[in-house]
């Protein structure tokens, strides 16, 4: 996929293609669509980031709340998005010891109780030890600071997702692309 193809998409196609970049929040893609044309994938991502940054506080909170817990109920029940499954596996969060699982469950509960949204972290930026360290540190933040931190993490996560959406489809011969479920 190249950026010219994206710039030619009608709105429903564009939202179908990029509605999942921001977790369960296709409204972000729908608003970014109005900013076409994009000069490259980074510009497309920047338009989506700007849509979130200029959205109402309630919409930002809804976006954060659309994310799964880290190694939480959705992971155990197999109801996470494919992107989240791959991301959490990259930091070995799908292969936790019972002690690590118990510690993360406890942190998930405390974090949600304190801040009102799940702990969100760009797991591809951290090792497992780093994720646990950040979890403790960010749990102690005040919620206004933490809302900003969480959005920055969402922007890092979605930057990876956009880059991969372009890389992945380009890397596959056109004749096979119908088998993709991206």
**Catalytic residue IDs:** 67
Query: Of how many residues is the chain composed?
Result: 182
CA distances from 162 to 52, 81, 137, 156 (A): 15, 15, 28, 10
CB of 113 or CB of 140, closer to a copy of itself: 140
9 closest CA partner among 117, 145, 142, 18 = 18
CB of 51 or CB of 157, closer to a copy of itself: 157
Q: Which two three-digit tokens encode residue 7?
A: 């710039």
- Residue 16, SS3 per DSSP: helix
CB of 106 or CB of 136, closer to a copy of itself: 136
- Residue 71, SS3 per DSSP: coil
CB of 56 or CB of 129, closer to a copy of itself: 129
6 closest CA partner among 16, 81, 27, 55 = 16
d(CA 136, CA 83): 25
Q: Can you give the binding site for a copy of itself, defined by CB under 8 A? A: 122, 124-127, 129-130, 133-134, 156
Least Cβ distance, residue 149 to a copy of itself (angstroms): 11
Respond yes or no on whether the N-terminal peptide bond of residue 37 is cis (omega within 30° of 0): yes
**b/e for 39-56, b at 16 or more Cβ within 10 A?**
eebeebbbbbbebbeebe
E strand or H helix at 21, and its extent?
none
């Amino acid at each position: 996929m190249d950026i010219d193809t994206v710039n030619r998409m009608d709105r429903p196609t564009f939202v179908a293609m990029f509605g999942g970049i921001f977790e369960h929040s296709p409204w972000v893609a729908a608003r970014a669509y109005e900013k076409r044309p994009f000069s490259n994938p980074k510009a497309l991502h920047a338009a989506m980031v700007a849509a979130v940054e200029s959205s109402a506080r309630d919409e930002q909170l809804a976006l954060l709340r659309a994310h799964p817990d880290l190694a939480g109920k959705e992971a155990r029940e197999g109801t996470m998005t494919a992107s989240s499954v791959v991301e959490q596996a990259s930091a070995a969060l799908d292969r936790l010891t019972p002690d690590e699982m118990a510690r993360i469950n406890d942190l998930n509960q405390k974090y949600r109780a304190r801040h009102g949204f799940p702990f969100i972290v760009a797991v591809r930026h951290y090792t497992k030890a780093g994720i646990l360290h950040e979890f403790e540190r960010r749990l102690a933040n005040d919620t206004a600071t933490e809302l900003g931190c969480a959005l920055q993490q969402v922007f890092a996560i979605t930057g990876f997702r956009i880059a991969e959406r372009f890389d992945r489809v380009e890397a596959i011969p056109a004749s096979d692309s119908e088998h993709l479920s991206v």
